[in-house]
């Protein structure tokens, strides 16, 4: 088993601990950001290719890998090189070499493939697909035209969401950051979901498009982690804290939460959504009122530790054992 990700990522740490406690030792953790510290060899001869990666943890041969878990892997690091052109060259070449190595892992089960994550991570793609598998969704608009967004806003309560978030950030809810317009004037963007006021200034959409979505009043939020054909759900009582009424993730680690009994038909549709994209693990978020579940988001690499129980045996433990079973 090959785990691609930062060794300090809490999800990686927990899953690795679960693997070791189960006496499963046939795995390696490789952070592509540290690729320059590893020995990489890719041999091509005719139609055959073999690859080998040597790190402090040992040797990984492409033909021996049966499972790959991608946990937010970073690109190559070359910050020690001062010249920006040289730095860019080194990073690009290293990333291509790593990609070549990974391309030769041909007999493995991927959690998830980069291509599947790229397509499924797009909010337009997964919102439409969610509706097509039978999930209820909120009306949405993607635009860079403030006047069109204004018309959408006039029709009802609306939230703003980023299309991609912050690449490489650990938190799913980073604070506002400033970006420069061509004029040099600073404008702030909030990367958490934000409820817009009726008189909201939407001119920032001219700088970068976003997604506007009809606000869904709710009793609570539910996050679902899907893997191995199963759906594990946790409810977050977001309406108990003014800061999490719109976006539960802002206070997801402190607001009251509890295991949630997901209806069978909703669980089946969650699994169907992953199957549609060829994903093997992902998290989904829902706004829930009574028996109505409204799909809000799908994250192929979402956080699941904060929805787990104290001994991390509702999600992390079963997920680690599922990885082991796939690798056996």
Q: Where are the domains of the chain?
A: 2-111, 117-122+217-321, 139-214
pLDDT, greater one: 226 or 200: 226
CA distances from 17 to 47, 58, 149, 311 (A): 39, 18, 47, 12
Residue 166 reports pLDDT greater than 70:
no
Residue 176 reports pLDDT greater than 70:
no
Distance from C-alpha of 320 to C-alpha of 56, rounded to nearest angstrom: 23
For residue 84, what pLDDT is reported?
94
Residue 95 reports pLDDT greater than 90:
yes
Residue 74 reports pLDDT greater than 70:
yes
Residue 192 reports pLDDT greater than 80:
no
> Considering only CA atoms, which of 319, 261, 296 is closest in space to residue 67?
319
Residue 175 reports pLDDT greater than 50:
no
Give tens-digit pLDDT for 79-88.
999 999 999 9
Mean pLDDT, residues 198-219 taken together: 90
Candidate from 3-7, 106-110, 207-211 with smallest mean pLDDT: 207-211
For residue 185, what pLDDT is reported?
46
Distance from C-alpha of 60 to C-alpha of 41, rounded to nearest angstrom: 11
> Considering only CA atoms, which of 97, 2, 92 is closest in space to residue 44?
97
Distance from C-alpha of 225 to C-alpha of 270, rounded to nearest angstrom: 9
Mean pLDDT, residues 122-131 taken together: 96
CATH architecture type of domain 117-122+217-321: 2-Layer Sandwich (3.30)
Please state which CATH number belongs to domain 139-214: 3.30.1490
pLDDT category of residue 170 using cuts at 50, 70 and 90: very low
Distance from C-alpha of 186 to C-alpha of 222, rounded to nearest angstrom: 36
For residue 191, what pLDDT is reported?
64
Mean pLDDT, residues 251-258 taken together: 89
Q: For residue 69, which phi and psi values (nearest 5 degrees)?
A: -110, 115
18-27: long-range contacts, CB 8 A cutoff, minimum separation 24: 18/312, 18/316, 18/317, 18/320, 18/321, 19/320, 19/323, 19/324, 22/320, 22/321, 22/324, 24/324, 24/327, 26/1, 26/327, 27/1, 27/2, 27/3, 27/327
Q: For residue 186, which phi and psi values (nearest 5 degrees)?
A: -80, 140
CA distances from 287 to 27, 125, 139, 293 (A): 37, 19, 14, 6
112 with 70: CB under 8 angstroms?
yes
For residue 165, what pLDDT is reported?
59
pLDDT, greater one: 113 or 25: 113
Residue 177 reports pLDDT greater than 50:
no
For residue 247, what pLDDT is reported?
86
For residue 196, what pLDDT is reported?
85
For residue 252, what pLDDT is reported?
85
Over the chain, what is the mean pLDDT?
89
């Amino acid at each position: 088993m090959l785990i691609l990700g930062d060794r300090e990522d809490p999800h990686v740490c927990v899953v690795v601990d679960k693997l070791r406690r189960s006496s499963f030792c046939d795995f390696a953790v490789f952070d592509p950001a540290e690729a320059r510290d590893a020995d990489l060899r890719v041999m091509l001869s005719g139609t055959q290719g073999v690859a080998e990666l040597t790190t402090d943890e040992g040797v990984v041969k492409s033909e021996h890998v049966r499972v790959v878990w991608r946990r937010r892997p970073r690109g190559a690091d070359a910050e020690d090189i001062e010249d920006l052109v040289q730095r860019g060259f080194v990073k690009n070449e290293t990333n291509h070499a790593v990609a070549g190595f990974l391309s030769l892992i041909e007999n493995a089960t991927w959690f998830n493939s980069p291509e599947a994550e790229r397509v499924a991570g797009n909010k337009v793609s997964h919102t439409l697909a969610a509706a097509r598998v039978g999930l209820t969704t909120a009306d949405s608009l993607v635009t860079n035209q403030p006047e069109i967004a204004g018309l959408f806003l006039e029709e009802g309560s609306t939230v703003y969401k980023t299309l991609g978030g912050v690449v490489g950030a650990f938190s799913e809810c980073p604070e506002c950051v400033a970006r420069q317009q061509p004029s040099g004037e600073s404008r702030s963007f909030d990367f958490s979901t934000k409820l817009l006021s009726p008189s909201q200034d939407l001119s920032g959409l001219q700088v970068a498009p976003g997604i506007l979505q009809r606000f869904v009043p709710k009793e609570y939020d539910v996050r679902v982690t899907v893997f191995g054909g199963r759906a594990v759900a946790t409810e977050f009582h977001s309406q108990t804290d003014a800061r999490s009424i719109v976006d539960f993730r802002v206070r997801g680690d402190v607001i009251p939460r509890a295991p949630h009994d997901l209806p069978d038909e909703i669980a089946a549709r969650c699994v169907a959504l992953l199957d549609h994209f060829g994903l093997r693990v992902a998290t989904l978020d829902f706004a829930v009122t009574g028996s109505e579940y409204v799909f809000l988001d799908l994250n192929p690499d979402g956080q699941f530790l904060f929805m787990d129980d104290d001994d991390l045996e509702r999600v992390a433990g079963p997920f680690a054992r599922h990885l082991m079973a796939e690798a056996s």
